[in-house]
A = this chain, B = another copy of it.
Amino acid sequence: MNYNGKRVPAVVIKRLPRYYRYLGELLKQDIQRISSNALSEKMKVTASQIRQDFNYFGGFGQQGYGYNVAYLHNEIGEILGLKEGYTTIIVGAGYLGHALANHNAFEKRGFRLSAIFDNDTQKIGSIINGHRVQDTALMEEYVREHNIDIAILTLPRSAVEETAERLAECGIKGFWNYSYAELKLKHKVAVENVHLSDSLMTLSYKIKQGNDE
């Protein structure tokens, strides 16, 4: 995964949200600057790694001073695309879709829920967090008209492949996939899978085998 032509390892990108989170905490505590060393203690990673990570994206610090928290927080937010105001739709108004629609942490991070779709006539028309559930048949038209960026897929595995393909067709830029299936798409679209069962099984392993790192 690239940044300004430079290849950035996926592990580094995975760490960015965590940095963003910690810097947000520091901001809240009115801490204005921090050294890689101080941050490394808080986050339990090496100062070396912190400096290396940041330097994939350019120098955000100042010798002898450290990093300006507000500036760094803002820059990482920018890199993560949080300033883009990406719009989302939820496809699948089951329990999970319901939960995500009501999860206001996402709005805080700059994402905006635009609509919710389902193909169950029982669910169509019901209101979830102020959004009237719409028929999936109207989905493509809506996405095109409203320039939707992200589709949150909380529908059954059986329907996800076909639905994702339809959405990719009409210009969706990324899928946040909660279905227990791995999307194989014809189009080049960003995909982030959230396989909750996998996570639970990992926890299960840790319990079974002992968690000695």
Task: State how many copies of this chain the complex holds.
Answer: 2
Interface size on A, residues (CB 8 A): 60
Q: How far is the CA of A14 from the CA of B200 in the complex (A)?
A: 11
Across the interface, do A192 and B206 meet the contact criterion of CB distance under 8 Å?
yes
Residues of B within 8 A of A211 (CB): 1, 188-190
Instruction: Check A111 against B200 for contact (C-beta < 8 Å).
Output: yes
- A79 interface residue (CB < 8 Å to B): yes
Supposing A98-B95, A206-B190, A208-B84 touch, asked if A109 and B201 sit within 8 A by C-beta, the answer is yes
- Is A51 on the interface with B (CB-CB < 8 A)? no
Contact mask for chain A residues 83-122; partner B; CB cutoff 8 A; 1 contact, 0 none: 0101000000011101110110110010100000000000
Bound Cα distance from A3 to B99, whole angstroms: 36
From A94, A150, A203, residue with most partner B Cβ within 10 Å: A203
CB pair A198–B150 under 8 Å, yes or no, is no
One digit per residue, 1 when the CB lies within 8 angstroms of any chain B CB and 0 when it does not, for chain A 20-51 equals 11000000000000000000000000000000
Cross-chain contact A203 with B190 (CB below 8 angstroms): yes
B200 near A192 with CB under 8 A, answer yes
Alpha-carbon gap, A111 to B196, bound state (A): 13
Inter-chain contact A173/B207, CB cutoff 8 Å: yes
Most buried by B among A84, A105, A188, A190: A190
A21 CA to B197 CA, complexed, in Å: 10
Q: Is A17 an interface residue (CB 8 A)?
A: yes
Residue among B105, B188, B190, B205 making CB contact with A180, cutoff 8 Å: B105
7 contacts between A and B (CB under 8 A): A13-B202, A103-B196, A109-B200, A111-B204, A192-B200, A192-B206, A194-B199
